[in-house]
Structure 1
């Protein structure tokens, strides 16, 4: 099969979850014998992908002539500002068009509702007003973008949604009835490889690992900062390692904190394997009728490394994790999160059981390899 995949970014080397998602799918498509063509991403050609320019009509026509199915990444970025997508859809003819839906347009309001709130500090009226005005300025553009998405979605055969919330969005907002849920995946890492990495750890301190951005407010760094502050008082032996891409005022500081900036993916995997527990804390989205809609890639990578996870008891996290079986679910209370960390510190048997169960979930059901096969199955179904 000849798959055309457009995603409006340079995927290699991966710098974030969106890059990893694209890269894992492309590598998977190629591994099982399919051909892949992309537009405006010369970084990916080293994998054996054909790249077309999207700068002129002739190149876009050549791209569409080359492929059998068009696969499109839809995220929080406005597709109304991405003319390539409509051009490709107009040239699709009878070829299936499948959307990979990662976010509604209103995800941009996360910065208005959650951004700029410093941990352990009361928010000033001025800062709160700025966030309110930020949201008001964006509302019209979001409504216009959603109307545009609904218009283009009339030509879409199926959608693959990374969460249950986004399936509701695809059906109710975009009108794509043929929509399925397919969360992010994790890498297949053999148990012996994990044990080898664990043996390389340099510190014997009980280590809590966080991976994410220091600028995106849905990453829960403000909640973790409160946990770190409490741990400094009540559990000073617990060490927190934060892997981030940038240094900001929001990064917590203290004797129990180590910041690691700019780790590549291999470094992230190594750090997860060398930790005792990993956290994936995510706030709700009260401004959205769909609530928290993301599929946290870090959660899958944590479990793939056989490291136990503590994650927020909402949305996809609560769908994937059974409390006390393959992880721990927590509220937004810093005291409760710290209590769970202490529980895992003091009960190595529980920690090992949770880590093993999470790893088995990735091995059996939630790997990128499984995602690739299910995605290809949807393509084949639409082609038939």
Structure 2
């Protein structure tokens, strides 16, 4: 099969969750014996890249394809000319499948979450400023959603990262064939985990966080409040934060270690060496879709057999069973710290939770499975298209 993957990024080497998603799917497609073409990404190995500099390049990309696969996230499809042209030029026998990661209103996260700090009250003046910031974007978001719904009439199927996005694809966009395939983690063997753990340099009970210090939906402010509480309630706990950039809101103190811009392989080392990994996601109260993402880092944590503490909402609450394969927490700093301390104080629970999380990734939530489910969707879409001719 010849797969044309549109994602409008330069995704290699992977730097974030969106890059990892693209890279791992392409690797899964190629490992399964398929040919992959991309548009405007000379960084990606093992693919045929069309430069996307002109209409002829887009036309050549379309001519290559047996199926067109397009990443849909919070960025505007209305302004993504390559996607529109590719969908217009595709032969009727060529299915179009969307990979749906978020609705357009994800862009309001900066309006409603940016600059807020957990446990700190907000003045009416700042709330009104947020309201106006969001209100200015609302007309463009409504226009974008109308455009998505119109464009989706040509879409054969959607592969969605969460059940929330599955409902969005079917009910909001009107796509008839919807598959929910959460993001995955890497397949890490027990032998590799043991090897990576041998290089641990600090014996203190360690909590690890990986993510952005800027994007407010990564919940770093929630963790920072728990870290502050831990200074008096659990001073023996050490927090290691791996971030791509520094910000004024990064927690500080003797119990905090900041690691900036470390390679992905070193991130996996840190996950394996940690006693607990943490992924917190604040409520998306302004959107009917709620917390709709599939946190890549959560599955990477679990893939390394390290027990996780994560937010009791969205996909985390759907896939994580409390005290079975992870621990769920509210946004309260005392609750976050209490879940961490529970794992600190019960090594048997920590070991059982870590192994159950690893088994979940090994059996289901891994990138090869995501690639297989996506490929199955392509095959079914091609059969429907060619059978209808």
The TM-score by the shorter chain falls in which range?
over 0.9
TM-score w.r.t. length of structure 2: 0.97
Q: 1:88 aligns with which of 80, 86, 89?
A: 86
Matched, 1:33 2:33: yes
8 Å Cα contact 2:117-2:222 kept in structure 1: no
8 Å Cα contact 1:197-1:270 kept in structure 2: yes
* 1: CA distance, partners of 2:8 / 2:302: 29
8 Å Cα contact 1:330-1:336 kept in structure 2: yes
* 2: CA distance, partners of 1:35 / 1:88: 18
Deviation string 1:25-83 (CA, Å, 9 cap, x unpaired) is: 00111111100000000111xx2210112221211111111110000000011111111
SS of 2:267 mapped into structure 1: helix
Aligned match of 1:10: 10
Aligned match of 2:269: 270
8 Å Cα contact 2:42-2:51 kept in structure 1: no
Aligned match of 1:62: 60
Alignment of 1:150-189 (within 5 A): 150-189=149-188
Aligned match of 2:19: 19
CA positional deviation for 1:248: 0.7
8 Å Cα contact 1:161-1:181 kept in structure 2: yes
SS of 2:27 mapped into structure 1: helix
8 Å Cα contact 2:311-2:328 kept in structure 1: yes
Alignment of 1:1-384 (within 5 A): 1-44=1-44, 47-94=45-92, 95-384=94-383
Structure 1: gaps spanning 5 or more residues? none
* 2: CA distance, partners of 1:71 / 1:7: 9
8 Å Cα contact 2:325-2:353 kept in structure 1: yes
* 1: CA distance, partners of 2:281 / 2:117: 16
CA positional deviation for 1:15: 1.2
* 2: CA distance, partners of 1:25 / 1:329: 29
8 Å Cα contact 2:282-2:331 kept in structure 1: yes
CA positional deviation for 1:195: 0.8
In the comparison of the two structures, how many residue pairs are matched?
A: 382
* 1: CA distance, partners of 2:170 / 2:189: 38
* 1: CA distance, partners of 2:363 / 2:234: 36
SS of 1:214 mapped into structure 2: coil
* 2: CA distance, partners of 1:196 / 1:204: 17
CA positional deviation for 1:119: 4.2
Deviation string 1:76-109 (CA, Å, 9 cap, x unpaired) is: 1111111111100001122000000000000011
* 1: CA distance, partners of 2:319 / 2:261: 28
* 1: CA distance, partners of 2:329 / 2:227: 16
* 2: CA distance, partners of 1:148 / 1:53: 26
8 Å Cα contact 1:119-1:250 kept in structure 2: no
Deviation larger for 115-124 or 247-256: 115-124
Deviation string 1:286-327 (CA, Å, 9 cap, x unpaired) is: 111111101000110000000000111111001111111111
SS of 1:81 mapped into structure 2: coil
SS of 1:80 mapped into structure 2: coil
SS of 2:375 mapped into structure 1: helix
Aligned match of 2:387: none
CA positional deviation for 1:124: 3.7
